[in-house]
């Protein structure tokens, strides 16, 4: 992209007289700028009012109590809460399982779908993968409630074979990170497979052909050519999924209500923040948890950005 632009502009520069060139180029830039500002204005407005302002308000709340500065008191209170560390462990276990599964299987499935030469089968596969993602979070959990309950599940034989006789036994705390990871993978992976498929299509046919001529098989091509070239996309997926994963809320919340509290209401950090704000009227503690989440997610995202070379230009 960066190499194409000057090449395209170069002949134009030579054809136009200098004055005209500068004037047209200047006015075009201003018009483009105005259009650009117009297009981003809506996003910026929403970002300010529903992203930046609430975040600033959370920073204010996290370091104050009744409007007075209290230093790190709110953080200390939250860290000392008996529910905090288990919630951290739950989210960490879930994110670890889900993220690894997502990275592995999305890339693998995208490579397989990309390798399918039968057009209708390739199209059908992508469509089938994508369909579950069309269900919104809460709706997909409602669907999974039926799948996970051996008394009504279409795969009850499988659940019973795994030793589960009721919904309560299926969603025992030990197995919950896996259950939640399966739900999240099922709803989210399809979209990423389609994106990865697009990225694979972007790999130059010259490169692929050269690999083939050099005697590279599908596996070595995937390992030495395709996956390295997908590195940025994989990082991108990891960052966005990480942000979503640490915000775990809807799935355990719905499961909690469906199981009448067997899945605890303080399972995830976001749920704990919710309880602080709305059960204990402690918005300061809630803001402290939110800030911790923000810092952790930002830290891990920065790691992926630099490891994945997301900001590097080719």
Partner 1 sequence: MSSQHRRPFTRSRRIFAATAAVAVAGMLAACSGGTGEVNEDYGFAIAEQVEGSPITIWADATRQPAVEAFQAAHPDIEVDLVIDDGSASGSATFQTKIALADQAGEGWPDVVFSTQNNDASWASKEANGVQAFAAPLNKGYFDEDFLDGFTSGALDPLTVDDTVWGLRNDLAPVLFWYNQQLMDEFGYEVPTTWEEYEALGERLATEHPGYFLGSVGDSFVGPYVYYWAGAAPIFQVDGNTFSSDVNAPNSVRVTEMLDTMVANGSLIQDSVFSAEFVAKSANLLAIPGPAWYAGALFQNPDSVNAAEGQWGTAEPLYWEGDEKVTGNVGGGTWFASSHSQNLEAVKTFLEYIVSDPEVAGTGGLPAYQSAADTWVADQASSGFFSGDFETSINTAASSVWSGWGFPNFSAETSYSKIVVPALAAGQSIADVADAWQTEMENEATVVGYTVQ
Smallest distance, Å, CB 207 to partner 1? 30
24 near partner 1, rule: CB under 8 A: no
Nearer to partner 1 by Cβ, of 58 and 99: the residue is 58
261 near partner 1, rule: CB under 8 A: yes
35 near partner 1, rule: CB under 8 A: no
- The residue within the footprint of partner 1, chosen from 98, 129, 236, 283 (CB under 8 A), is 283
Stretch that binds partner 1, among 29-37, 89-97, 228-236, 273-281 (CB under 8 A): 273-281
Rounded to 10 degrees, what is the CA torsion of 235, 310, 243, 186? -30
Contact 311, 236 (CB under 8 A): no
29 near partner 1, rule: CB under 8 A: no
- The residue within the footprint of partner 1, chosen from 56, 72, 128, 139 (CB under 8 A), is 56
Q: Maximum Cα–Cα distance for the chain, whole Å?
A: 82
Phi-psi region of 68 (alpha: psi -120 to 50; beta: other; left: phi over 0): beta
52 near partner 1, rule: CB under 8 A: yes
Buried b (16+ CB within 10 A) or exposed e, 204-232: eeeeeeebeeeebeeeebbeebbeebbeb
Instruction: Write the CA distances from 28 to 24, 44, 148, integer angstroms.
Output: 6, 23, 59
Residues 78-117 that bind partner 1 (CB under 8 A): 81-83
- The residue within the footprint of partner 1, chosen from 255, 277, 292, 300 (CB under 8 A), is 277
Contact 252, 144 (CB under 8 A): no
Q: Is 175 exposed, middle or buried (0-12, 13-18, 19+ CB in 10 A)?
A: middle
Smallest distance, Å, CB 302 to partner 1? 18
Q: Which two tokens stand for residue 58?
A: 């959370």
Binding residues for partner 1, rule: CB under 8 A, are 48, 52-53, 56-57, 60-61, 66-67, 81-83, 151-152, 165-166, 168-169, 172-173, 257, 259-262, 264-265, 277-281, 283
């Amino acid at each position: 992209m960066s190499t194409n632009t000057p090449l395209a502009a170069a002949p134009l520069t030579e054809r136009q007289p200098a004055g005209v060139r500068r004037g047209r180029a200047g006015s075009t830039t201003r018009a483009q700028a105005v259009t650009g500002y117009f297009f981003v204005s809506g996003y910026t407005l929403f970002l300010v009012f529903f992203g930046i302002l609430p975040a600033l308000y959370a920073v204010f709340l996290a370091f104050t109590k009744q409007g007075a500065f209290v230093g790190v008191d709110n953080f200390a209170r939250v860290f000392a809460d008996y529910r905090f560390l288990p919630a951290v462990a739950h989210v960490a276990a879930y994110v670890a399982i889900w993220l690894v599964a997502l990275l592995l299987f999305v890339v693998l499935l995208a490579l397989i779908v990309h390798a399918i030469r039968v057009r209708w089968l390739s199209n059908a596969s992508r469509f089938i993968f994508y369909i579950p993602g069309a269900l919104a979070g809460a709706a997909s959990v409602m669907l999974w409630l039926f799948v996970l309950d051996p008394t009504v599940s279409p795969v009850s034989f499988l659940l019973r074979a795994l030793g589960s006789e009721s919904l309560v036994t299926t969603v025992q705390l030990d197995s919950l990170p896996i259950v939640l990871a399966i739900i999240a993978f099922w709803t989210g992976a399809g979209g990423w497979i389609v994106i990865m498929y697009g990225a694979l299509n972007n790999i130059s046919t010259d490169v692929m052909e050269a690999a083939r001529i050099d005697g590279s098989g599908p596996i070595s091509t995937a390992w030495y050519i395709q996956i390295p070239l997908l590195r940025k996309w994989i990082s991108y997926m990891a960052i966005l999924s990480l942000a979503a994963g640490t915000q775990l809320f809807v799935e355990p919340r719905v499961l909690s209500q469906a199981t009448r509290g067997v899945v605890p209401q303080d399972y995830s950090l976001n749920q704990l923040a919710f309880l602080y704000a709305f059960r204990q009227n402690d918005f300061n503690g809630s803001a402290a948890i939110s800030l911790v989440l923000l810092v952790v997610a930002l830290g891990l995202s920065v790691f992926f950005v630099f490891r994945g070379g997301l900001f590097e230009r080719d």
